[in-house]
A and B are shown apart, each in its own frame.
Chain A
């Protein structure tokens, strides 16, 4: 029966091929037969050789990964609106590929018996399916911008080479939204338009036909040099004739074409000649983005992303960049710098997008702070978000109103972070929580309270908050707050004693016989908690030591230890060992996280090699030495007793 829910399903399906071809009424009755299936991250939907279900699937929310034997090689990642698991139903065979939820996912399961009549009735639906089966892509219409070919990978070769081969054959993505002008447009107008649209080139058209192109380079060479005034017309400086190509080009072809003519933009027309309508432009940037996971290209892509969905796609590429760095054994210091930089750019972009979504500009200056691992630039994988917001002091009667504004802003930002893969903080330590969205003087008051009343909660709160790092906004607010913190801790040295004893609270990583201590119950029974038992003692230790030395602006744990080694030459050896251990453990965690598509916090000991175990144990020795030093320096023993 038709109801609110089936109408909602039909509403969703009609946006995606092949359902866009189906008449509303039929789509509605098809929707009434749909099942809505919830899958947890990592849950299997079907396995290879399993008998085909009575349904095929459409991803409504989340993502599904399709894998192939051997080695569960990834053949495709399905996003919202993508169809999978249909072919075996039509061919009457068992599943040839496996499907698993890549994220928490909601699927629409559509019964094949109800769908078959639709295929018969609508030629376009049938054609879509035939094309998609023949080309082996999930969606032939999208070939031009994503098409990964199922069978092009041969299992004997290494993955990375395969990826490149695939890319070479791939259709090239091009911007369909053409930025154009006429021959008589003035250069000033053109330059403003290019700035506004953030593009590097403008196509000069005459009756939709391309007659010339103006790029950043033309502006530099012909205008900035004084050859032409900025009031000149487009026709005087444009490069003409335009070199045109047909829109069906592979990445390699486009690259060759650019090299051949030494140009950075290709104009695509309906039939490839300048005598038909222009349909798109390919820039060198588009090709670079497609070719590789290069940080500079990714940064550019992040800055161009105008919605959360686009950012999510970029973030997936960041993850594969990270995987590549780890595979190639690039030093972790460098890796984490680059990845943190990219993560940081994502957050900045999200805040920019959020600011645009607000009805009014911020009433006063503010700063967005990253806390915890993000603040320490140690966040390589998707983990929880911890953030806070500080805004300029306002008169009391405006405080509520001002806070309301920033809370609304923070809600959009945290939702954006959630959308691109950062889970919400389970303890609500987020700027969208009124407790973490305060004015400068409120923050000062709050931290003063923590420092002067160092109970266990206050120590925990300070240890999370004190690693803050400015993500976006006004630097002076943060500097002011930091200065206040150092002033206060100076007056209450007792605080360090409590912070140090907090750092010693982490459970020991190994038992009496140097065996690993594993979790005793819960979801991760018999797993080793790498974060709590090994990383936290180092992170907490570095924090208290560096704060007691009043060193500002170094948040990264490994860097803190390096600084400490410099400050205390007599402990240099230990601190350098700590720095090394931090990096080794972080790398270890990241590798495991990528392998299992999780945060890498819990390690199955049975899966470790002998070498890995020895490496880990070596780190434990360093942790123990560090804890001894903390105990003696801050005289913690009597507190623990």
Chain B
């Protein structure tokens, strides 16, 4: 019943275009997949009350990041938490041009297409974007998602001597993989750290037995 309803609903053109990109089912090998690594900076951690302040995203194909194919948007939001502005330093980017939430979503959907999305603690960023989409009357993102914090755990050796933590922060990954933390807490800076970590993680996973694109995306 619900499904039926959804289909009948009239979505705007940009959503239909985005959705159309998923119609073709392609079989992939890892070098052919376009991964979009993204990060959001938000006013807080509540999906309903808090808002996205900026989105940064990079694309990876065949272990290569093309800077010209990157995405950075600063959103115009009425809703602010002073303490978050401190963390993210959004104020330092005051001069950045800001766009509306809807405009940012339209651009973001066009940018990501049917790529595989990658984020650190992906659940949070995914929910933030989905709630924003829902507020504007759209359904959830259709892309496949990968979470670097989950993938990282798969690279750890299975040893009684190494207790596996339930959570690994982006800072921990940056230290492990020797990635500069200079642009930490800007959306694109965090996306970059995540992207480098992601490539290194995939490399580590490749050395494990029976690794395949299918297994990665499962």
Contact = CB atoms under 8 A, between A and B. Distances in A.
A1 B196 CA distance: 20
B192 A461 contact: no
Nearest to A107: B64
A216 to B, nearest CB: 40
B58 interface: yes
A511 B182 CA distance: 54
Given A106-B196, A521-B209, A522-B208, A427 B67 contact: no
B169 interface: no
A36 B66 CA distance: 6
A37 B188 contact: no
Contact of B183 (A8, A460, A522): A8
A426 interface: yes
B209 A522 contact: yes
A3 B111 CA distance: 16
B171 interface: no
Interface stretch (B1-9, B80-88, B139-147, B157-165): B157-165
B182 A8 contact: yes
A199 interface: no
A3 B70 contact: yes
Interface in B174-188: 176, 178, 182-183, 186, 188
B64 A35 contact: yes
Interface string B181-218: 01100101100100010011001000111000000000
Interface residues of A, number: 36
B50 interface: no
Interface string A20-43: 000000000001111111111000
B63 interface: yes
Contacts of A5: 58, 65, 67, 70, 183, 188-189, 192
Nearest to A31: B67
12 contacts: A1-B72, A4-B56, A4-B72, A4-B192, A38-B199, A61-B178, A426-B157, A426-B162, A427-B157, A428-B161, A460-B160, A460-B161
Interface string A68-103: 000000000000000000000000000000000000
A431 B157 CA distance: 19
Interface residues of B, number: 31
A109 interface: yes
Given A3-B188, A40-B203, A428-B162, A32 B209 contact: no
A418 B177 CA distance: 10
Given A424-B176, A426-B162, A36 B56 contact: no
A420 to B, nearest CB: 12
Given A4-B189, A33-B67, A37-B63, A427 B159 contact: yes
Nearest to B96: A3
A106 B60 CA distance: 13
A427 B200 CA distance: 18
A351 interface: no
Given A1-B72, A8-B182, A36 B208 contact: no
Given A1-B72, A4-B188, A35 B66 contact: yes
A9 interface: yes
Given A522-B207, A522-B208, A36 B188 contact: no
B156 interface: yes
A40 B205 CA distance: 13
A460 B72 CA distance: 49
A33 B68 contact: yes
B161 A38 contact: no
A522 B183 CA distance: 37
Contacts of A9: 67
A359 interface: no
State the 7 A-B residue pairs at the shortest beta-carbon distance, nearest first. A523-B207, A36-B65, A4-B188, A38-B199, A38-B63, A3-B72, A37-B64
